[in-house]
Structure 1
């Protein structure tokens, strides 16, 4: 009997260690998702866009999960539907990509990737592959295989130099460039003040085995100007 209060005092501090506060940013997958009405805690999420991140929103992460509210969807009790977002341990600055999922209660599926500046460095480009096939990517002389299932792969192109950007089957990158074997070709110019997230998506022409790129760039000079304006 005398030990019960003591045990409770031990348990409560341990439970509180599982909760933490993180800054989240959000990226809408497409225009339809960008029109959704969502909230992080009691704050409405503004500025959802397919080609730019939102500002930071502080959320409480408990046991590896935080909750986003779909204000435009109601549950059986008439309350906003909760969208649980799992944060992988070790992620410092989560970027939540909001994907459409019509068969879910919220109509959304969250995909979380690391977006901290120490991970996605200025001047670099991070590729994530949303297709179901392994792809080879070459930027200038740097070539890597980018697996499917959204696993990020980073490139560090030469700053202030315009180089070729080629995407093909991995085995094709080992051969001399042949336009007929490429899924995608373009040029890339890296800048020391800019970092980019490049999402590989299936091409819009069903007759072709092509892919497309959705590039979300961020300029730290613009971020600095925004922070200065808020002071």
Structure 2
């Protein structure tokens, strides 16, 4: 009987380790700074395994991917250069939707200085955000409309991206933006290049109309050719 119990204990130890490892999953997380103010901050991601400092943040380029352990312990971003009343770094929780494969953390400054940061979490997996497509995120409080060639796409106010994929070969396209209540008068028009090797994330934000229009655009493009070249050097 004693030998049987000893054998059971030996089997239970690796089984417990297996259960624990199944609860902790590592996913690749990349970070995009909203502006140069955020890019200059000293930030880190804390997971169940410890703290990972976020390096080389940039307003127009994603960071390298960090393998972050997800599980029961909440993921947070720590602002190492901003302290709360308790003297500890200000933390902001990372809320990753279930099933998201490759989160992109878009980090914005908080509305009030000294309050830390705000985080928008987006799916960045190429199977969802594929090459040759553009994703729009309308952060204004107005419904907008985007037109290209003979297509028209509604852009409701939401942090949920709206994807546009023209398809076909590389070419120039005439594009226009409208407010939904002024469809006869675009507030922006221009010629954009469609390239099936690029994918572009565009944030639309309200600004005071200073002659350039009521909406500002933040565009972040990524080139598959550069991604392949970087992968080949690793």
Q: For the superposition of Structure 1 and Structure 2, which TM-score range results when normalised by the shorter chain?
A: 0.7 to 0.9
8 Å CA contact 1:70, 1:106 repeated in 2: no
Q: Does 1:205 align with 2:214?
A: no
Distance 1:155 1:78, change over 3 A: same
**Alpha-carbon distance, 1:107 to partner:** 1.4
Q: After TM superposition, what 4+ stretches of structure 1 lie above 6 angstroms from structure 2?
A: 9-16
So what's the TM-score if we normalise by structure 2?
Answer: 0.81
8 Å CA contact 2:32, 2:105 repeated in 1: yes
Q: Does 1:185 align with 2:176?
A: no
| Matched length | 218
Q: Structure 2 residue aligned with 1:34, among 31, 36, 39? A: 39
**Secondary structure of the equivalent of 2:229?**
helix
**Alpha-carbon distance, 1:204 to partner:** 5.2
**Alpha-carbon distance, 1:76 to partner:** 4.0
Larger mean Cα displacement after TM superposition, 60-69 or 124-133:
60-69
Larger mean Cα displacement after TM superposition, 73-82 or 137-146:
73-82
Distance 1:22 1:172, change over 3 A: same
**Secondary structure of the equivalent of 1:182?**
coil
Q: Structure 1 residue aligned with 2:61, among 52, 62, 85? A: 52
Q: Structure 2 residue aligned with 1:146, among 147, 155, 158? A: 155
So what's the TM-score if we normalise by structure 1?
Answer: 0.82
For structure 2, the residue ranges without an aligned partner over 5 or more in a row are: 1-12
8 Å CA contact 2:188, 2:213 repeated in 1: no
8 Å CA contact 1:163, 1:187 repeated in 2: yes
Q: Structure 2 residue aligned with 1:167, among 153, 177, 182? A: 177
1:72-91, aligned counterparts within 5 Å?
Answer: 72-91=81-100
Q: For 2:101 and 2:177, how far apart are their aligned partners in 1?
A: 30
Q: Which residue of 2 aligns with 1:96?
A: 105
**Alpha-carbon distance, 1:12 to partner:** 9.8
Distance 1:65 1:154, change over 3 A: farther
Q: For 1:146 and 1:14, how far apart are their aligned partners in 2?
A: 44
Distance 1:81 1:182, change over 3 A: same
Distance 1:64 1:92, change over 3 A: farther
Q: Which residue of 2 aligns with 1:220?
A: 224
Distance 1:100 1:225, change over 3 A: same
Distance 1:20 1:104, change over 3 A: farther
Q: For 1:75 and 1:211, how far apart are their aligned partners in 2?
A: 34
TM-align CA RMSD: 2.8
Q: Which protein shows a greater Rg? A: 2
Q: For 1:162 and 1:156, how far apart are their aligned partners in 2?
A: 14
Q: Structure 1 residue aligned with 2:129, among 120, 134, 138? A: 120
